[in-house]
Amino acid sequence: MPRYHFHIQDGVRHDDDEGIDLADDTAAEREAARLVAQLVRDDYQRLFHDGHCEVTVTDGRGLALFSMAVMVRNAAARPRGGLVLGVEQPT
C-alpha cells in the first residue's frame, strides 16, 4: 500500500513525517476531508482568527498530490465572514 503524508497549515506548519498507508489516492482524499472536518470542528476559533486551514497531501516521495483548504472571508454585512471550502489540484 502507498504511504501518504498529511501536512497541516493552520497559522503554523505541521509536517507529517510519519504518514499512513492507504489503499489509493481516493482513500487519501477521503482521509484529507475527514482531517479538515476534524480541524474545523475541534479548533474553529483558530480558523476565524487565522483565516484559513490547509491540508496538503504528499506521496511517499514527497510529491504534492493535492491540497484541501477551508478559509474564512470577511464580508461587508458580517465582519467575521463565512466558511468557504476549496480543493486545489497542483498544476
Model confidence over 12-59: pLDDT tens digits?
899 999 999 999 999 999 999 999 999 888 887 777 777 788 999 999
pLDDT above 90: residue 91: no
Which pLDDT belongs to residue 78? 61
- In the chain, which residue ranges form alpha helices assigned H by DSSP? 25-42, 44-50
pLDDT above 80: residue 75: no
Which pLDDT belongs to residue 81? 47
First to last CA, the chain: 25
Which pLDDT belongs to residue 9? 92
Residue 2's pLDDT band, with cuts at 50, 70 and 90, is very high
